[in-house]
Amino acid sequence: MVLVTPPKRTEPYPDRDIDCEEAIEPRFFEYLANVDLTIFWETYLRNDLVSEAKAAGWGQEEVQLAIRRLSTAYELMLNDIDI
């Protein structure tokens, strides 16, 4: 299992949102490869990944933003749309 890496600093800093996205991305795709998509979207993203990321030191809002960005990128990838 890939772990969510913590932020570089506890206080806000430039590009922290990008660091959050990069921190959860491996876990996002690891889990995505191993679950039913309905369960993934409804349960995992709302509960498990947010909890894992918060335990690593990320804030709930920044985690939710990162999940939305990764979900959008994944959807575009499925539809062969370059971003």
Which pTM was predicted? 0.72
Q: What is the pLDDT at residue 19?
A: 97
pLDDT tens digits in sequence order for the chain, 83 residues long: 778 999 999 999 999 999 999 999 998 888 777 766 666 666 666 678 889 999 999 999 999 899 889 888 888 888 886 65
> How many other CB atoms are there within 10 angstroms of residue 65's CB atom?
14
**The pLDDT value given to residue 29:** 84
Which pLDDT does position 18 carry in this prediction? 96
Domain chopping of the chain, boundaries: 33-83
CA–CA separation, 68 and 33 (whole Å): 18
